[in-house]
Amino acid sequence: MTGTVVSVSAARGHGFSKKPQMWIRLVTGLGVDGDAHAGRTVKHRSRVARDASQPNLRQVHLIHAELFDELAARDFAIGPGDIGENVLTRGIDLLGLSTGTRLHLGATAIVEVTGLRNPCLQLDRFQPGLMAAVLDRAADGGLIRKAGIMGIVLADGDVRPGDAITATPPPGPHRPLGPV
């Protein structure tokens, strides 16, 4: 499975949106260099409050641009970095990946997928109704979270818009993504 990097974003401070960049540097075991969420242990405020020693499974946030297309059709105006993603992709089914999939971004960076972003009420503060718009129901009634995926950095590298993304599934059976 392959795709393309559409945009890359980062923010030094703990805000909701991230600023689009010309490139970002992924650092092994830490995340996006200079980003507020980079680190070996959790950096999201709610998780730090619960247990600051937990491993950071949310070093890199990726969202598929196809979600932005879907939201635009529902009159939401979302641009790169607006809802906190580090990497905006196109052409790869992020939500259909298996836990443990390795995403090769650009020449050398590798991100291992840890799970789904669990949407929060900050989405509604950004644009009213947005949280409900990124949630859906499966035929069996299960909740579908469409706000992207999270991962950890396994190999350093610079990532730029236009870079290729290749997904390598882990060995063994498919393990559906769950919230992290």
CA distance 87 to 81: 8
CA–CA distances in Å: residue 167 to residues 20, 28, 29, 30, 90? 23, 18, 19, 20, 13
Q: pTM (2 decimals)?
A: 0.96
Residue-wise pLDDT for 9-53, tens only, equals 999 998 899 999 999 999 999 999 999 999 999 988 788 888 889
| Alpha carbon 79 to chain centroid, angstroms | 15
- Domains (ranges, CATH) in the chain? 2-168 (2.40.33.20)
CA distance 2 to 129: 32
> What is the predicted pLDDT for the residue at 44?
80
